[in-house]
Structure 1
Amino acid sequence: MISQRTPELFEPGRLRCVETVLPVLSAAERLAMDERWAEAVLANPHLFDGPTVAGAGLDRDGPDGLVLTWARSTYRRRVLRRIPGAPRVSSVFVCVVQAADDGRLMVGRMAPWTASPGRLQLPGGSMEPPPPGEPLDLAALRRHAARELVEETGLGAPSEELTLWLVTRGENGSIGFHFRAPRRPAALLYERFAAMAAAERALGREPELERIALIRSEAGPVGLDGPRADYLGPVVRRHLRD
């Protein structure tokens, strides 16, 4: 098992995904989970208990490979992190490293209504489990990353154009798959985001990212403050180094 530090970065040459099942909760653990979830929904009514992928393990597979052990779960189960002694559940997410043609990197700030209000991060989101009988594999992760990119920024990209670049393991053991997209003109990045945000608001919805910015250094964009995803600094440093 890979020892946990916050955050860890890996450059996988190969990826293998193995499905498992989560531990059965005791009656007391389930009651505590349901109570904590009810409190969370009361604080943020936009939360929903939809299906998600839980990370059960991340192991090396030879010198350049990784094995992700995962299970089908729902968002409700994540509140177990705040219950002493309860089985911990790690999230699995995908995100897109989208650079402009001048090398600047796109970051966004999460809207107030989301589960991570004000957080600065790369475009992306929690991984959803495949339909029963279908595999969770690199292709599925890549497709989900492409979908998150268009939903959050308005930038459409064929999934084949996304390349798995880094895997991170950070806060609460969360496992992130970071895909690189082809560079695009800076003006296009802003134009597509503005058009997507305007279309969402015309339908009475607020976009998940309230604002985007292009950054040249780990210091981040001027005037775009907020807590940062734990992987953001290391990923930005690696991007600028490469």
Structure 2
Amino acid sequence: MSNVEFLDARTLRLEQTAVPPLSPEELAAMDRFWDEAVARQPALFDGPAVACVGVETQADGALLLSWAAATYRYRALRRVEGCSWFPASIFVTVLQPVEDGGLIVGRSSDLTASAGRWGLPGGSAEPPADGERLDVAALRRHAARELLEEIGVGCDPEDMTAWGVTRGEHGNVGVHFLAPKVPAALALKHHEALAHEERVRGVGPELDRLAVVRSVQDVSDLGHAADFLPLVVSRYVGGEPTGA
């Protein structure tokens, strides 16, 4: 948990900026490392993504996230030695509590870039469509979509609470939302049906297993987990939301 921190985010603002300029050599190295990654894992997709360019606490106490429209390819810059820009990402997650205590976590399937890793339902933020804004409301809607797509549980975005913001590996910023409680058996049933439907279609689920965790020890027992998960679970079971 030492490499992850909660950011003071009583108010969260997002502001679009440009991708920092890169040299031709850096761009060529990025493309080379990306192509190598795709060769190892053909399921990788160079889709649209939001790159976190800066994190700043403003005079009124709000947390400002500066972001740029990029693609997943830019993450290959992390492997370029001495690169002038170290790209981070902005992602959302959903804390889905169950009625008898604990949070639902899922294991990423072999079809994903983070195969075998346990985490909360969620995903990387994407640039908004033309004319739309990337703000907390947009992130909340994205989180609700991820919850439905990954475990089959529907939730009105307005029923989700902005719960906290973390910064962890590579400076990646997670915006975490809290959903209303559901029965654990119902969530597992929805996920089972969703996974079956996706396997029939030949796609396969993003999360191949679900579990309920009630402590940091439960997270440790799972094995490989997202860097933010132990701290988020610790804060949740301790009743310490940070706000956003």
Bin the TM-score by the shorter chain: over 0.9
Identity of paired residues, percent?
49
Partner SS for 1:219: helix
Alignment partner, residue 123 of structure 2: 125
Once the 2 structures are TM-superposed, how far is the Cα of residue 112 of structure 1 from its aligned partner? Answer: 1.4
- 1:64: how far off? 4.6
* Secondary structure class of the residue paired with 1:56: strand
Query: Which residue, 235, 238, 242 being the options, matches 1:238?
Result: 235
- The question of 1:152 aligning with 2:150 is answered yes
In structure 2, the residue matched to 1:42 is 39
Partner of 1:198: 196
Could you tell me which residue of structure 2 aligns to residue 140 of structure 1? Answer: 138
Matched with 2:58 is 61
Query: Deviation per CA, 1:188-227, whole angstroms, max 9, x where unpaired?
Result: 11111111111111111110101000111111269x7332
Q: TM-score, normalised by structure 1?
A: 0.94
Displacement of 1:131:
1.4
Gaps of 5+ in 1: none
Q: Which amino acid aligns with 1:30?
A: L
How far 1:57 moved relative to its partner? 1.1
Q: CA deviation at 1:12?
A: 2.3
Give the SS at the match of 2:149: helix
Secondary structure at the aligned position of 1:172 is classed as: helix
Which of 33, 37, 42 is the matching residue for 2:30? 33
Is the 8 Å Cα contact of residues 17 and 70 (structure 1) preserved in structure 2?
Answer: yes
1:95–1:124 CA contact under 8 A, matched in 2: yes
Is the alpha carbon distance of 1:201 and 1:118 closer, same or farther for their aligned partners in structure 2, counting shifts above 3 Å? Answer: same
> Hey, what does 1:113 align to over in structure 2?
111
Number of the residue aligned with 2:9: 12
Amino acid at match of 1:36: F
Shift of 1:34: 0.6
- Alpha-carbon distance in structure 2 between the residues aligned to 1:218 and 1:11: 22
Shift, 1:158, TM fit: 0.9
Aligned partners of 2:210 and 2:8: how far apart in 1?
27
Name the CA distance, whole Å, in 1 between partners of 2:183 and 2:59.
39
Match of 1:22 among 10, 19, 34: 19
Ranges in structure 2 where 5+ consecutive residues have no aligned partner: 240-244
Shift of 1:95: 0.4
Q: CA deviation at 1:25?
A: 1.6
* 2:8/2:63 contact within 8 Å kept: no
Q: What is the Cα deviation at residue 133 of structure 1?
A: 2.9
Per-residue deviation, residues 80-105 of structure 1 (Å, max 9, x unmatched): 00111111100110000001011211
1:70 partner SS: strand
Relative to structure 1, is the Cα distance of residues 11 and 26 closer, same or farther in structure 2, using a 3 angstrom cutoff? closer
Matching residue of 1:71:
68
The alignment partner of 2:217 has SS state of: coil
CA distance in 2, matches of 1:166, 1:173: 16
- d(CA) in 1 for partners of 2:110 and 2:190? 21
